[in-house]
Every structure is written in structure tokens, then in C-alpha cells.
Structure 1
């Protein structure tokens, strides 16, 4: 063997060693290779697949008067698919990226013929640098608050109720046709979005009660700005993590807005139609940090304050993955059917959640641990006399990190009725218990 051949062999072995180290870093939570095919040796161009599925087993105390297939029910247990997503990310050059995502949402016993595998996201993005990138298409890129874009590693069983409260009104499954710019300037990151909101055809305008207008709304302007005091967060996707389970040390302060001209309308006392702008503002603070890396313990906390102005006395009741089909008007409360509750309206909303991971069951494998959490939403809405208070308490079993987890959640919600003297008083409270399993693939 010549000296030249020997040196070449050492170089090849060194490259293979480096390659194996890179491969080791690209394992997912199941310790399997990522579903990514690289298009060049530098691994700056690639095509990747990812997705997830969420299965719910649930027991719900239904709102008064709830009907399931015209039969009165006070409670129900059911199985459902809360979300199924399949995503492809294609990066043919270092600066260009294309994202295509499909899926279905809220496949429950009442959705036999209404759930399809829909096109959700289809957008392209061109990154001039880390400081500025431009994108356009149909996506969840939007502003306002940390959780407005939808779920990613939620600390509890789902997002807080207020977070995507315009879903189905000005968007489709939290998606709009939009153009956006985003970037990261040191510890500061930003996103600004200009979108065409969907028109929500609702009732004719009501006296002193704002509703979404049947007329064409203005553009949807939104933005979110954030400063990272500790570790910076990834902004390659529109989603923000609800917990890192101690894998990062994050303290970030954010602020955002969402504005649509003439999104709403109402009538004054003389029955004149008045157009109203939708004006929402929020500030939030997120903290996630390890306590003991060897034991796997961590803490996660999130606080948010939001002011919403939809016009006079606007309020929206939403039942997530609603198991009921209708409601008996003679017995109905303001909540309506099933598990509906007031989630947003003109007024102020505050939210707090706290949780963290407990020590690993097996320190060597480091893939089995518990993550308890609690959350509370409090809203002071103009249309209701009593404040809206929604409680959540849950615990997750992380079997393979956040990629395979089982979550049990207990949620308590208020029931609202009108009295002879006051509008919107709490007359009762109901429970919902959810056992959720989520599995990710990437």
C-alpha cells in the first residue's frame, strides 16, 4: 500500500465518520432516520415528508337541550379523529421552498359524509437571507399571538379555546390565501401577513349586536413580533411550540395584531346598518427550560392578554369537534348544542398555562416520562354579565418524546342563560374528559 493510498483511505474513513455523526443527529424521537432525502452532498437541498394523527376518546356532559340525530342527550361518549395531517416540504435550492399539506379535521360520528382529505397548505417561500423571506399561497402564516396558527407540541390536550376562534369565519381550518414576509434579526423575529379573508355568510345585521358581514370584507392584516431573551426559536414554519419538554431554554416576549376593515356589521336603534372593523391585539410571554437534564425534569409556562374589538356585543360560541347535531330551542341555553362555549368576543381575554416534565422512568432510554399541566382562560366580554372562566387540567405520558404521547385532560366550561334582569349569567357548568393519543412521523 502506497503512502498516497493510505492517506486517501484515512480521508475516506474520516468522511464516513463525519457522515455517521450527521446521520446520528438526524434521528427522530423514535431513533429512526428522518424521512428526508437530500438532493446534494451539502444537504442544503432536500425533500421531506412529515405529518401526525390525533385520536380522541371522549366523555362529554352536553349542554341543555342537545340532540344527537333528533334524540335528546345529556351526555355522550365517542371516538373521533381530531386531526390527520400529511406534509411534504420540497427545497430545490438553498433559497426556495415549497410546502404542500393535506388532511382532515374533526372526523366524528356525525361526519359520515362531510369529511374529506382536503388541501390545507400550498405555498412557496423565497429566503433572501435569515433576516427576510417572502412567501405566498394558502397557509397558516398569520399574526396576533403565539398559538393563533394552530397546534404544535401542545402542553394540554389541545390549543386554548380563544387561539383559533375565527376558524371557519374568516379562514378555512385556520388557513387563508395570503402573502407574508418574515425574518430573524439577532434575537428579534417578526412576521407580517396580508391575506384575503373568506366571507362568512351569517344572519342579517342585528340591533346593537355585531355579526360577520355578508359583504366582501377588507384585507386581513396581521403581524407578530417576538424577542428571545435566551435560546432563539425556529421560524421555518408558521407554528410555535407549546412546549419543548426541556430540550431548549426559552424566554420570549411577543406582541401582535389582526385587523380587517368592515369585517362586521350591526344595526343602530334606528335600524341603520353600521359596518364595524375587526381589531385584535395581544401580548404574550413564553418560558420553557430544563430543571435537571439528567433526570429529564423541566418547566413550561405561557401567559397571554388579548383585547378584541369586533363591534358591539359580538360573541362567538364554539364546540370543538362537536358531538351534537342540533339543539332543542325550547331547552337551549346561550351556549347552543353539544360542548359549545363562549370562546371569543368584544372584550378582553387572559390565558395562563403551566406544566412540566417529571423524571424519566428509565434514565438510560430517556423516552418515558409524565408531563402534568393546568390551564385557565378568563374572558371579560361585553355581551355577558358574568366572566367566562374555562379550566383545564391534564397529564401526558411521553412515550417517545413529543412524537408519541398519550394525554388525559379534564375541562370544565360555563353554561350561560339570560335572566329577567341580566343577559349572560352562568347558570351551570359542564365537564368534558378527553383521552388523546398523538403520533408524529417525520
Structure 2
């Protein structure tokens, strides 16, 4: 019954919005006024301060808030504050961010991002309800050429080498959320996918490239106590630099290059098709405890190959197609596995003796590990006048995730179906998503499946 109510909540939220807009059209003068306001909104100017008369030197601010309303079918054995919880409903801030950036001279670019993530009733630290926001990015770069051919930069940055989803523009995502598995070391040896790095990046003709040297954080700085065991975990003993590289070829238009972030969907505003490959490596990044009691260090080597397309289909109707397919090969050392639960609404550990610890509690599933992953997205932007002129667009989408990890005896198959209601493009966006995921028994075989239902409201300027 709760599942039905939550599904109806999401559907009613969207339907109610549409109905309210439909009712307002009964008054012609109101319709004309609302249409005028919406048309002017589409031409809103950015929060931008020009530093010179021509505007080539500027500084700009953006703000974003993503609120989740979620009903989750818990993994078996889940508890919330020690009490059994087969189902949960929670409200949370998935992301709250501000960006400050600008071209402060002919060749110097400055970028900051500040905010917080995953703030819900269960995310609090004992004695502290004001979970600290933090700098996600604080970096600068210098153009060594007159264009984008060669830039060198450094600082705390998300500039990565592995894939486009290792550095996603979260305000322009197609699916409800980013595929976090592509941020392969997230909050292990980095700060929410950001690292202290020195990088070069640029565009030469149809090629887009970036090369990065990062200084990863020691694993114990995330609050964990590193202990070597039979399965690989991040080492608490050895410290080496991390090396990354990414190369893409753009067959049609080239993508924007202002910041390192990569767009999720252009909503038909660009015609993009590219193929890309990326790599990330670090010496002695992980360790295991051998049978004889000695500790063995293991190198980390991750790589991917991917294709991305975003293209208008009918410019008069405003329809567009977005598609992505990627293959990821991860070597973290013998039998490495990591379970992730995004903004977990429950305690992280399952107390069911028949369920493997790799499932975790709440909404978790094995997301990163030694093995390989296939991931795909497909989205279709429907006719811009389907709901009536000036009333936004609908964009249904589907994603799939399939991982074969060495430690597990069955693949991890996760499916998402959803729809975006683009009220004012990405600025005002209402999304509804259903995710279906597996959980595993103590033989590391799939023992059943669970679902989550999420309504997200995104507001950004």
C-alpha cells in the first residue's frame, strides 16, 4: 500500500502541476501573461559581472538544489536506528551547490564550487545537525594558446581521465542521478570525486583530451581504519601519485570546454557524436593479507571505452535523442568489491544472516569491484507542444547497469526507468525514477530484487 501511495504521490505531483497549468488556460488574459513570463524566462541573463567593458573578462555565479522524495524497498535485514525497516520514506537534499567562476584575464580562468551532498534524516553525525558544506572544486587554469588548444591548471578539481561520467555536469543529467560507479574511487582516496591535481586539457581539431596527475588522499582520512584482508582494499601504507588520461573524437559539433564538467543531455541544442577512451592508474594503491600473514600490495588500473550521442531529430517539434554506451574494465586487485547506497535512508549493515554483506542495508548494491561493467542510457525529448505551447517538455529515459565482478557468482543488473518534466529546461525540472536492483545471499548469488521510487525537484540558476 505504501508503495502504491508513493507511486501515486509522484504521479500526482506531476499531474497536478499539469492540471493547474491546463486550468489556467481558461482565462485568455492569464494565458497571455504566463506565456510572456515564460518566454522572458527562457532569455534570462546569467548572474554575471563583467570585469571589462567588452565582457571578455567576467565573473559568474550559479546555484543549484536537488531535493529527493523517496520510497525505498529495503534490502533484507535493514534497520533504521536499530529497528527493522522493510520500507522507508525519506526527504533529502541530494545536492546543494553554488559555483563561482570566471575569465579573470585574457588567459586565466578561476573556478570554485561549494556545497553539500546526501543530506537526509539519517546522514547526521552525532552531536552535529549542521553537516558542513565543503569546497568541491577550487582550481585555476591558464590558456597557453589563444584558443582551447592547450590549457594547464591545478588545484582541487574533478578533472579526471576515466570517462565523461567521472566528471559529470550534474545540473544537465539525463537520468535522475549520475552513474556513481564511474567515479571509481569516490570518497575513498578523493573528496567526492575531486582530487588535488595538476592537469593539461584542450581541443585540437575534433579531438578533446585531458591528462592528469593527482595526489590521492590516504584512505584513513575518510574516517575508516584500513585493515588488510583476503580481498583487496585500499592500502593504508603506500602513497603514490595517480595518473589519468582521456581522449575523445567529436564527429559532429565539438562540446563546450569552459569547465572540466561534461554535459549529460543538451536537450537538442547541439548535435554531438563522439567516441572516447580513458584510463586511471596508481601504483600499490591496494593491499591484501596473504595466507602466511604477509601484506601484498596491488596496483590499480581502470580503463573505459564509450560512445555518446545527443542530437535534435525534428527542430520544429523540438524532439531530440540522447544515447550513451560505455564499457569499463576495473582492476583494483583480487576480489575487491564496494557496495554503495546513495544517500542511504537506513543503517548501512544488514542483520539478516542469509544475506551477503555485499548487499548492505537500505538501498545499497555492489557498485565497484574488480571485473567489468557495461552501462547505457537512452532518452527521448518529446514534442515541445505536447503539453501545450510554453508548458515545458517531457523526456522519458531508461538506463541499464550490468557488472561482472570476480567476487560474485552472478552479475549485478540494475535498471532505471524515469521521466523528466522540463518545466523550464534544466532550470526547473521535475523527475520521477524507478530503480530495480538485486541483493545477494551468502554464496554471493542473486537472491531477490528490490525497488526504489524517487521524485526529484531540481532548481538551478
Q: TM-score, normalised by structure 1?
A: 0.89
- Mapped partners of 1:132, 1:161: distance in 2: 29
Q: Say which SS state the counterpart of residue 399 (structure 1) adopts.
A: strand
Alignment of 1:121 with 2:145, yes or no, is no
User: Larger deviation: 348-357 or 104-113?
Assistant: 104-113
- Mapped partners of 2:184, 2:199: distance in 1: 21
Alignment of 1:136 with 2:154, yes or no, is yes
Alignment of 1:278 with 2:300, yes or no, is yes
User: Larger deviation: 193-202 or 101-110?
Assistant: 193-202
User: Larger deviation: 27-36 or 82-91?
Assistant: 27-36
- Mapped contact 2:51–2:57 kept (Cα < 8 A): yes
Alignment of 1:220 with 2:242, yes or no, is yes
Using the TM superposition, give the Cα deviation of residue 330 of structure 1 relative to its aligned residue in structure 2, in angstroms.
4.5
- Mapped partners of 2:396, 2:51: distance in 1: 41
Using the TM superposition, give the Cα deviation of residue 317 of structure 1 relative to its aligned residue in structure 2, in angstroms.
0.3
Using the TM superposition, give the Cα deviation of residue 28 of structure 1 relative to its aligned residue in structure 2, in angstroms.
9.3
User: Larger deviation: 320-329 or 140-149?
Assistant: 320-329
- Mapped contact 1:38–1:47 kept (Cα < 8 A): yes
- Select 1:347's aligned residue among 365, 368, 371: 371
Alignment of 1:321 with 2:343, yes or no, is yes
The residue aligned with 2:219 is: 200
- Mapped partners of 2:390, 2:95: distance in 1: 28
The residue aligned with 1:20 is: none
The residue aligned with 1:81 is: 93
- Mapped contact 2:123–2:343 kept (Cα < 8 A): no
Alignment of 1:158 with 2:181, yes or no, is no
Say if 1:251 and 1:100 are closer, same or farther in 2 by CA, change over 3 A: same
Say if 1:217 and 1:28 are closer, same or farther in 2 by CA, change over 3 A: farther
- Mapped partners of 1:281, 1:269: distance in 2: 30
How many residue pairs are counted as aligned between the two chains? 410
- Mapped partners of 1:119, 1:77: distance in 2: 30
Using the TM superposition, give the Cα deviation of residue 363 of structure 1 relative to its aligned residue in structure 2, in angstroms.
9.0
The residue aligned with 2:275 is: 253
Flag the structure with higher helix content.
Answer: 2
Alignment of 1:415 with 2:439, yes or no, is yes
- Mapped partners of 1:221, 1:29: distance in 2: 43
Using the TM superposition, give the Cα deviation of residue 167 of structure 1 relative to its aligned residue in structure 2, in angstroms.
1.0
- Mapped contact 1:410–1:433 kept (Cα < 8 A): yes
Q: Say which SS state the counterpart of residue 400 (structure 1) adopts.
A: strand
- Select 1:269's aligned residue among 285, 291, 312: 291
Alignment of 1:244 with 2:250, yes or no, is no
- Mapped contact 2:219–2:226 kept (Cα < 8 A): no
- Select 2:397's aligned residue among 356, 373, 398: 373
The residue aligned with 1:333 is: 356
- Mapped partners of 1:275, 1:28: distance in 2: 59
Using the TM superposition, give the Cα deviation of residue 198 of structure 1 relative to its aligned residue in structure 2, in angstroms.
1.1
- Mapped partners of 1:210, 1:157: distance in 2: 31
- Mapped partners of 1:80, 1:363: distance in 2: 29
1:292-307 matches, within 5 Å, as: 292-307=314-329
Using the TM superposition, give the Cα deviation of residue 101 of structure 1 relative to its aligned residue in structure 2, in angstroms.
1.5
- Mapped contact 1:290–1:297 kept (Cα < 8 A): yes
Using the TM superposition, give the Cα deviation of residue 30 of structure 1 relative to its aligned residue in structure 2, in angstroms.
3.9
The residue aligned with 1:24 is: none
Using the TM superposition, give the Cα deviation of residue 65 of structure 1 relative to its aligned residue in structure 2, in angstroms.
1.4
- Mapped partners of 1:218, 1:121: distance in 2: 22
Using the TM superposition, give the Cα deviation of residue 370 of structure 1 relative to its aligned residue in structure 2, in angstroms.
0.3
Using the TM superposition, give the Cα deviation of residue 246 of structure 1 relative to its aligned residue in structure 2, in angstroms.
0.8
User: Larger deviation: 352-361 or 302-311?
Assistant: 352-361
Unaligned ranges ≥5, structure 1: 1-26
Q: Deviations over 1:43-86 (max 9, x none)?
A: 21001101211000000011111111111101100100000111
Using the TM superposition, give the Cα deviation of residue 269 of structure 1 relative to its aligned residue in structure 2, in angstroms.
2.8
1:64-79 matches, within 5 Å, as: 64-79=76-91
Question: Over alpha carbons, which structure has the higher Rg?
Answer: 1
Q: Deviations over 1:164-203 (max 9, x none)?
A: 2421101111111111100110110101111111111344
CA RMSD of aligned residues (A): 1.7
The residue aligned with 1:182 is: 201
Say if 1:400 and 1:328 are closer, same or farther in 2 by CA, change over 3 A: closer
Q: Deviations over 1:231-274 (max 9, x none)?
A: 10012211111111111110011100011111100123323211
1:8-23 matches, within 5 Å, as: none
- Mapped partners of 2:196, 2:434: distance in 1: 35
- Mapped partners of 2:428, 2:387: distance in 1: 18
- Mapped partners of 1:235, 1:175: distance in 2: 18
The residue aligned with 1:428 is: 448
The residue aligned with 1:382 is: 406
- Select 1:52's aligned residue among 54, 58, 64: 64
- Mapped contact 2:78–2:351 kept (Cα < 8 A): no
The residue aligned with 2:163 is: 145
Q: Deviations over 1:268-297 (max 9, x none)?
A: 332321100110010100011001111111
- Select 2:425's aligned residue among 401, 420, 428: 401
- Mapped partners of 2:385, 2:144: distance in 1: 45
Q: TM-score, normalised by structure 2?
A: 0.86
- Mapped contact 1:294–1:363 kept (Cα < 8 A): no
